[in-house]
Amino acid sequence: MSILIRNGRVIDPKSGLDEVIDVFVNGNTIEKIDKHIRKTGSDVRSIDASGHIVAPGLIDTHAHLREPGYEWKETIRTGTMAATKGGFTSVVCMANTNPVNDNKSVTDYIIQKARSEALCRVFPCGAITKGLKGEELSDMGELYESGIVAISDDGKSVKNSAVLLKAFEYSRLFGIPVISHCEDEDLSRGYVHEGRASLLSGLDAVPAIAEELIVSRDIAIAKYANAPVHLTHISSGGSVNIIQHAKKSHKKITCDTCCHYFSLTDEATLGFDTSTKVNPPLRSKEDVEAIKEGLRNNTIDIIATDHAPHEGTSKDVEFDIASFGISGFETAFALSLALVHEGVMTLPDLLRKFTVNPAKLLKLPYGQLAPGKVADIIIFNPDVEWKVDRNSFLSRGKNSPFHGWVLKGKNLLTLVDGKIVYRDKSFKA
């Protein structure tokens, strides 16, 4: 089957292409991009993308698919269904499964399960340490040969600096990044950001310095090892400032943030809605503005979802005992498009943070819309308004603080490997 996408505004951040043009997909490959492509026949499906954007499929560098071990929260199948609805064609799944992805057998399981059940590409992230305990390195060579694309103890910072140094040294040998969860364990025993909102709510608080200390430490260790480091879910303005200055002397630093860190402030926690309980916590208005500025000036390279789905019983409890996390696949891109509507960045610049930059970090041959490339493509409209209804989520996790919000911008169609894997019911394709 071939697909001809006609009359869409095609944006490819890598090549700089941005014009109304046609895209012809033959099998799983983009064969041609040109004006007025003529292709007919019973095996050619024509899609009119007039008034819409055609772009490379999005790449998420940080997600939790929960399988194996927590299938009541999410599965590879349901997670990738949600991902493709949100416009993601590749996702990296973190290692905090049960059992932890710290060995070949778990990595093999994830890859085989994804091959048979996933709607998009799934790339496993291996654990830095065995059992995520921070004590002994996992067998990184075995994990690398099995197919991991990065290592991380996400959910925890590696407290032992000597162990982390060894991880950086090995990661340099294998050419994969360390994805660093920046959180000082001793300073992070609360549930919300330390500030005015925590004073009003009385909830135990986490100061921004808990993140900033580990950001500084991990950068220093990576620089000493001359290794790449990727700092994930940055939430603090202080962290942005540290990273911006550090990048001048160590060129192997990258970082990401998540849409909730520029869409919500800690005031959202005053309603005790456990959907606002995330790790690191939602920060102050000043932090939000600093995150936006970091995205604008490219201190922050990538926007990730940190998709963290939970079943209702993990969230429908008191704030202090509720699980951390937001089910993010289905709202992340639309929330991020607000940065374009607000004039923080251009649409090509935003797409770069979802495509080119993640692909470069992970050394993936995706994130580009050009002849000869694999046909991972989305069609979206940045101006369509829609109301978030968590009950309609394809993810098993309905935990979203954005329920009831009216968002501007919607993914309409997703192709993975040249096949349509998601179509919005409003889009007549």
What's the whole-model pTM score? 0.98
All structural domains of the chain with their residue ranges: 57-362
The pLDDT tens digits of the residues spanning 280-336 come to 999 999 999 999 999 999 999 999 999 999 999 999 999 999 999 999 999 999 999
CA 64, 72, 99 angle in degrees (round to 5)? 60
Average pLDDT over residues 241-250: 97
Q: How close are the terminal C-alpha atoms of the chain, in Å?
A: 15
Q: For the purposes of burial, counting CB atoms within 10 Å of the CB of 202, is it exposed (0-12), middle (13-18) or buried (19 or more)?
A: exposed
Average pLDDT over residues 216-225: 98
Q: Residue 309: name the closest of 94, 157, 132, 59 by CA.
A: 94
CATH number listed for the domain at residues 57-362: 3.20.20.140
Average pLDDT over residues 359-369: 98
Indicate whether 35 pLDDT > 90.
yes
Average pLDDT over residues 100-113: 98
Q: Tokens in use for 366?
A: 């995706």
Average pLDDT over residues 4-26: 97
Q: In the prediction, which pLDDT does 38 show? A: 87
The pLDDT tens digits of the residues spanning 141-192 come to 999 999 999 999 999 999 999 999 999 999 999 999 999 999 999 999 999 9
Query: How is residue 201 annotated by DSSP?
Result: H
Active site residues: 306
- Cβ count near 47 (within 10 Å): 22
Indicate whether 74 pLDDT > 90.
yes
Pairing of strands 2-12, 17-26: antiparallel
- Cβ count near 26 (within 10 Å): 17
Please tell me whether residue 325 adopts helix, strand or coil conformation: coil
Indicate whether 394 pLDDT > 80.
yes
Give the chain's mean pLDDT.
Answer: 97
**Cα Rg for the chain, rounded, in angstroms?**
21
Cβ-based neighbours of 180, under 8 Å, separated by 6 or more: 152, 157, 214, 218, 229, 230, 231, 232
Average pLDDT over residues 108-136: 98
Cβ-based neighbours of 28, under 8 Å, separated by 6 or more: 374, 375, 417, 418, 419
Indicate whether 429 pLDDT > 80.
no
Q: In the prediction, which pLDDT does 41 show? A: 77
Give the distance from CA 99 to its chain's centroid: 23
What is the residue type of 113? K
Q: Residue 134: name the closest of 115, 159, 114, 112 by CA.
A: 159
Average pLDDT over residues 369-382: 98
Q: In the prediction, which pLDDT does 1 show? A: 80
